[in-house]
A = this chain, B = another copy of it.
Amino acid sequence: MKGTRTRQSILDRAVDLASVEGLEGLTIGRLAEDLGMSKSGLFAHFGSKEELQLATVEAAQQRFLAEAFLPALKAERGYARLHAICMSWVSYVRRNVFPGGCFFAAASFEFDGRPGLVRNVKAMEEWVAAIERAIVAAQELGELDAEIEPAQLAFELNSLFFGVNFSYQLRRDRKALMRAEKAIETRLEGLRIVKPARRLRSARR
């Protein structure tokens, strides 16, 4: 088996390891030890610690997309999709997609304030932007109060995600998942516009 693992299976393990021990601690030596591979075998895949960290962030992003984001796109565009994106995120934490908690939240705080390695900011910004787009779409379709500034609501929803990470991961408080769902539900329901037009039309038929 030694040295024969595929790049993808190596990265899967690297993501798990980094989510538990931090991205900074993810060295080629540490990963080689964990996988029972030779360091030279790993060097053939990744030339440096930097490259390994970059590839790991990229792999984590792929896993996040597949597990937390893409499933929500099955919901109809508008309020339903915005709601699905938020709930899908809570479900992703509940399913322990990353063994050490949200990879991006942890990495964000790990490099928070430090110069250098803050590549994961991009992943987080894309995530916040995706929530904002879903809010704008729901507003354009007349399914969400147009008075609320999309960036404000996105900030509030994203804050709940950080809150879950803290309470669930660090305090092992399973209730945090329910609390986040309740808060999302309350906030979104308060801004929801149930369109009467379609109902009236179908009533007339």
- By a beta-carbon cutoff of 8 Å, the part of chain A in contact with chain B is 19-22, 24, 99-101, 105-106, 108-114, 118, 121, 124-125, 151-152, 155-156, 158-167, 169-171, 175-176, 179-180, 182-183
Contacts and interface: CB of A to CB of B under 8 A. Distances in A.
Copies of the chain in the assembly: 2
A114 to B, nearest CB: 6
Given A100-B112, A114-B22, A167 B155 contact: yes
Contacts of A101: 112-113
Contact of A124 (B106, B125, B161, B166): B166
Contact of A170 (B19, B118, B166, B183): B118
5 contacts: A21-B113, A106-B112, A109-B166, A155-B179, A156-B163
Nearest to A110: B110
A124 B179 contact: no
A22 B169 CA distance: 19
Contacts of A20: 113-114
B163 A179 contact: no
A170 B100 contact: no
Given A110-B110, A156-B179, 8 more contacts: A100-B114, A105-B166, A108-B166, A109-B109, A109-B165, A109-B166, A112-B166, A156-B183
Nearest to A105: B109
Contacts of A152: 179, 182-183
A151 B148 CA distance: 26
Contacts of A183: 152, 155-156, 159
Contacts of A180: 155, 159
Closest 5 CB pairs of A and B: A159-B163, A100-B113, A109-B109, A162-B162, A155-B179
